[in-house]
Amino acid sequence: MTTALVTGTAGFIGFNLARRLMAEGWRVVGVDCETETYDPALKSARRSRLEDEPGYTHITGRIETPGLLKTALARHTPEIVVHLAAEAGVRPSIENPRRYVEANILGTFELLEALRETPVRHALLASTSSAYGANREMPYAETMRADWPVSPYAATKRATEILAHSHSHIFDIPITMFRFFTVYGPWGRPDMAYWLFAQAILEGRPIRVFNHGEMRRDFVFIDDLVEAIVRLFDAVPERPADGEVPEGDSLSPVAPYRLVNIGKSAPDTLMAFIGEIETALGLEAKKDFLPMQQGDVLATWADAGLLERLTGYKPSTPLSEGIPRFVEWYRAYQGRNRVE
């Protein structure tokens, strides 16, 4: 079996990626510490599902623990590494920025140091569309400046991009940083808007609609995100021999390093998103319209042209298809009282 090491496998994206890889015959080594950032029962349910598969090996621990990832890579010698473990979320990062620095920056540093000693064919590290920060030019392209983060979360993820570039340059580590946009779907995060909306509507409580609903997001269905990540496995960046980079490519002129957006290239309004949840639930939401929250941005919109050129693929699942699939899973999960 070909081996992939995936950090954050008890998380939303890592869990779905690990399941996809094992379905295709991969052996997956997962690393996760199952923090209590949100419902630990959900994280435990994800891990239990993975551990039922013979191709899965789980390592429990914090990625920033010195030597943990170094030992894991040396022991399992993966061909591919996908780094998804992180403290996520804009608003919690404002309340506890130190935790974000420790997990996101130090955790990524530990991985990069491990990759120095145990080379892999390709390391893919998760970043975020939040890295574009206060940049108002749309759609976001990987070649744009990303120098104005508006939250500690965004700042730590942008820092990991810069740190990864320096290691890629000095130690010739092939790295793709992918910036994903607003991801949703089955087995999602209960701190995300779509989960909170569904829960509140079913319980008859009002939902909080920030900036009076005047926001747009590039919503990406989880299966589309996983498909894009897997396709990027073979798009291994190479250091340009002459330092020349094709127009529109974010490839570094001095390192085997590239940034890639993963988005639909088609933003939806927040109100359209809410409308699809209402339709899928068969209920109308009570809405509490509020001002913009600190750290939020008005819109996200990916230019996914580079992803399509590299892989022949671009996410395309519409809300009208993705939201009902989330709602179907959500009803079933809640009906099982979080026992899986």
Range of the domain at 89: 3-181+220-263+303-316
Instruction: Give the three-state DSSP class for 330.
Output: helix
- pLDDT, position 249: 97
Closest by Cα among 156, 165, 160 to 258: 165
- Please tell me the pTM assigned to this model: 0.94
Report the domain count for the chain. 1
What is the secondary structure of 74-87 as a DSSP string?
HHH--SEEEE----
- Confirm whether 295 is domain-assigned: no
- Confirm whether 284 is domain-assigned: no
- Confirm whether 26 is domain-assigned: yes
Give the dihedral of Cα atoms 40, 41, 42, 46; nearest 10 deg: 100
Strands (E), 225-319: 257-262, 268-269, 287-290
- Confirm whether 275 is domain-assigned: no
- Confirm whether 89 is domain-assigned: yes
* Residue in 38, 140, 153, 257 annotated catalytic: 153
Instruction: Give the three-state DSSP class for 53.
Output: coil
- pLDDT, position 340: 40
- pLDDT, position 335: 85
- Confirm whether 286 is domain-assigned: no
Residues 83 and 170: their CA atoms lie apart, in Å, by 20
Asked whether the beta carbons of 182 and 124 are under 8 A apart, the reply is no
330 as an active site residue: the answer is no
- Confirm whether 307 is domain-assigned: yes
Which pLDDT tens digits describe the chain residue by residue (340 residues)?
A: 899 999 999 999 999 999 999 999 999 999 999 887 778 899 999 999 999 999 999 999 999 999 999 999 999 999 999 999 999 888 889 999 999 999 999 999 999 999 999 999 999 999 999 999 888 888 999 999 999 999 999 999 999 999 999 999 999 999 999 999 999 999 999 989 999 999 999 999 999 998 888 889 999 999 999 999 999 999 999 999 998 999 999 999 999 999 999 999 989 999 999 999 999 999 999 999 988 887 677 778 999 999 999 999 999 999 999 999 999 999 999 887 544 4
CATH number, domain containing residue 118: 3.40.50.720
